[in-house]
Amino acid sequence: MDLNRLVSYSLRIGVFASALLSIVGLLVWSAGGFNGVVAIAGSKIAGTLVSAFSGNDSGIIYLAVAVLIATPVFRVAVSSVYFAYEGDRKYVLISLAVLSMLIFALVSGYAG
Amino acid sequence: MRIFLIELSRGDISKVPPTVVLGPVDVLIIFLVSIVAGFVGALFGLGGGVLIIPFLTLVEGVPVPLAVGASIVSVVATSSSSAATYVQDHLTNLRLGMFLEIGTVAGAITGAFVAVFLPASALFILFGLILLYATIIMIRARGIDFPANVRPDKASRILALGSQYEDHSLNRVVKYEVTRTPLTAFIGYFAGIVSGLLGVGGGIINVPTMNLVSKVPVKVASATSNFMIGVTAAASASVYLLRGDVHPLLAAPLVIGVAGGALLGTRVLKVTPPTRVKVAFGILLAAISLLMILKGFNLPVVL
């Protein structure tokens, strides 16, 4: 498979999964009578993500957002594996540089 | 564990997230508007935040942090949805995009680090003026999308950045070279700083830079910018998420709407002549650069 297809599929699957989860989340929300929903911060998000699996509406939507944020990161990771497989050293370095900066940003909470 | 550490380092454990009450009608309206935002974003290589933030704050009365948080999440969706199509159609220059991402992501991180020291207003005025200048060049040179006989620079040759795409409006394969790559990467770094600082600026700066400095055809510039901004926005989105600035009832309709709108935008870009793309982009660019300058003078402009 060529790189264009690989990248395209990675992005497509991520967006599709995220949009589908968002739809399910909104349906659950409407089935529950449009109850008030609030934004959640920090360490509480982990618990909310887990609540998605027991059918909590905002949990499902937070899962959608998490899948969405992971999509471009996954795309860069897939690209670096592809370049490594192809033996294209210059682009392995480039994609790994982007990936490491991204992980740094995600872990440290910088890049706001 | 990681989330916990970030909370401690930010010291905002007790922070109460801003709230907004949303009903089914609001969600429906946000969904409809986000289709338009996704369409425009995909067409011009922007996130669409320039439309979403004013709409959410001015029309829906959403507090600014929540509007920005929702907008940045929708940028990831617009970017990923449109790039999926553009990459498959070989309209995106993958190699150029990945190379320039080094600059924009590094810039976004720098922006977050130096936010306190940098005069944000000066940056706004500076970039507003540069973009206004870019608008004039873009519209005056609308007939020539990219000049013939472009000589690739050294970096461009080493990284094999020159490429080609099939233009469905011209019914031919367009071959192009990429030149002055270091300058474009350098400007991309500052575009990253601006977007890291202020949440806008990535796409709106990258598209004219690629087109006017590096002589990349405008449709390729838009498709490549769409591809790049997802990465920068993903890094920012995680920060907003942890801060509690991502509201589920804003995020869900936005993600669904922009993902769909972006698909429509990609279809339109494919069949639109480059000249028309340049003029339309120029008009949008003029409006945004004026808003940036006004904001730089601390006038109450939502951007």
Q: Which residues contact A91 (CB under 8 A, 6 or more apart)?
A: A79, A83, B95, B98, B159
CA–CA separation, B49 and B203 (whole Å): 10
User: pLDDT band at residue B3, thresholds of 50, 70 and 90?
Assistant: very low
The interaxial angle of helices A57-86 and A89-108, nearest 10 deg, is: 150
Domain span at B104: 23-296
A87 φψ region: left (φ > 0), alpha (ψ -120 to 50), beta (else):
left
Is the model's pLDDT at B36 over the cut of 60? yes
What are the tens digits of pLDDT across the range B256-274? 999 999 999 999 999 999 8
B173 forms beta bridges with B166
Is residue A11 pLDDT above 70, yes or no?
yes
Suggest the residue from B66, B79, B105, B189 to mutate for an interface test with chain A (most A CBs closer than 10 A): B105
Least-confidence region, from B80-84, B171-175, B197-201, B202-206: B197-201
Residue B73 tokens read as 């999440």
By the CB < 8 Å criterion, does A1 face chain B? no
Hey, are the CB atoms on B13 and A4 less than 8 Å from each other? no
ipTM of the complex model:
0.93
Confidence at residue B7, expressed as pLDDT on a 0 to 100 scale: 39
Nearest CA in chain A to B109: A111
Give A96 or B3, the one with higher predicted confidence: A96
- A53 to chain B, minimum CA–CA distance in Å? 16
Out of B19, B76, B256, the one facing A69 most closely (by C-beta) is B76
Average pLDDT, chain B: 85
Which residues, including other chains, have CB under 8 Å from residue A20's CB and lie 6 or more apart?
A64
Q: Does A12 contact B at CB distance below 8 Å?
A: yes
Chain B contact set for A66 (CB, 8 A)? 241
Which residues are CB-neighbours of B233 under 8 A, at least 6 positions away? A72, B47, B72, B75, B76, B79, B202
Q: Which of chain A's residues have a Cβ under 8 Å away from the Cβ of B240?
A: 112
> Among B268, B267, B273, which residue's Cα sits nearest to residue B145?
B273
Taking residues A43-51, report their average pLDDT.
87
Rounded to two decimals, what is the model's pTM? 0.89
**If you average pLDDT over each of B65-74, B132-141, B222-231, B279-288, which comes out highest?**
B222-231
pLDDT for B13 equals: 42
B98: nearest CB among A18, A19, A95: A95
Give me the percent of chain B exceeding a pLDDT of 90.
46
Report d(CA B162, CA B29) in Å as an integer. 43
Range in A74-78, B110-114, B160-164, B204-208 with the lowest mean pLDDT: B110-114
- Domain count along chain B: 1
Which has the higher per-residue pLDDT, B1 or A99? A99
Indicate if the pLDDT at residue A112 is higher than 50. no
Give the residue from chain A lying closest to B1, CA to CA. A43
For helices B24-44 and B218-243, give the axis angle rounded to 10 degrees: 140
Question: Could you tell me which chain A residue has the CA closest to the CA of B86?
Answer: A8
The pLDDT assigned to B131 comes to 82
Cβ–Cβ < 8 Å for B285, B204: yes
Determine contact: A24 vs chain B, CB below 8 A. no
SS3 B163: strand
Q: Is the pLDDT score of A25 beyond 70?
A: yes
Smallest CA–CA separation between A31 and chain B, in Å? 11
